[in-house]
Amino acid sequence: MLRTFLHTHPDVWDQVFQLDPRRAGFVARLLASTGPTLLDVGCATGVLCGELAARGFQSTGVDLTPAFIQAARRKYSQVPFHVGDMRRLRLRASFHVLTCLGTTFLYNVRNEDLTATLASFHRALRPGGVLLIDVVNAMAFIQARPFRSTSEHRFLLGNVQATATLEHTVLEETQCFTEQVTWRVEGRRPRRDPRSTFRMLFPQEARHFLEGAGFQDVKILGDFRLSARRLEGPRMLLLARKGVTQRTRE
């Protein structure tokens, strides 16, 4: 179970990670062209599900952190939310679109976990359904940009100033990076989160795993525009479709 400051303070999460309207619009267009049901894996406090439910779509959210799911249920009582592991989704329904955004997918550090997660996603989608995964662009680590081992970010939490200092380390042998955050919130003692480890996923590697899981029409994008094929920014989007005639993979 994740025990970082943000995972134990869902109210702060909502202030730090506000919904990007481009992201919501992109997913809404996928739903409009594919079908009305959405499963958001790693939904956190349910903001994306709530926004798309307000637009008339049928949203469902899953997250591993119970505090997030409790907060989501309080805010969006009309949306079903479940505590669950992305490697072993246990939902009776199947969905037209499945999203896994932010850093969620990169917790699959081991190949076995990544394979299990994609198989789980494949089972959760309807035939012809669309998968959208948003991850850190690992290519940015090896392009002409120096890797920043430390960065500082300032937030206003209500009327209180907060600073998050992020320390990153690249683990070359395991193709991962670690992140440790120190929080300094006005009026509180500094808090240092446990170190988190994330996979560095490269484009051809991602394509290989997606196709191996039975997905088709794999597209790799640089941002929330279908025309953004160059990976020049910090994010990488993976877009793929479950075949119409395929059997669900176990």
In tens, the pLDDT along 9-67 reads: 888 888 888 888 899 999 999 999 999 999 999 999 999 999 999 999 999 999 999 99
CA distances to 135, 183, 184, 192, 193 from 189, in Å: 32, 9, 7, 10, 13
Average pLDDT over residues 192-213: 95
Residue 246's pLDDT band (cuts 50, 70, 90): low
How far is residue 65's CA from residue 4's CA, in Å, rounded to a whole number?
11
Residue 170 pairs with which residues in a beta bridge? 177
229 has pLDDT over 80: no
Q: Where are the domains of the chain?
A: 5-139+200-242, 141-198
Name the 3-class secondary structure at 244: coil
pLDDT score recorded for residue 159: 83
pLDDT score recorded for residue 249: 47
Compare 151 and 142 and report the one with higher pLDDT. Answer: 151
pLDDT score recorded for residue 129: 98
CATH of 5-139+200-242, one of 1.20.140.10, 3.40.50.150, 3.40.190.10, 3.40.50.1370: 3.40.50.150
CATH code of domain 141-198: 2.20.130
pLDDT score recorded for residue 99: 99
123 has pLDDT over 70: yes
Angle between helices 66-75 and 47-54 (to 10 degrees): 30
How far is residue 53's CA from residue 174's CA, in Å, rounded to a whole number?
39
Least confident of 81-85, 113-117, 137-141, 184-188: 137-141
pTM, entire model: 0.89
User: Which spans in 3-132 are helix H?
Assistant: 5-8, 10-16, 21-34, 47-54, 66-75, 111-124
pLDDT > 70: percent of the chain: 92
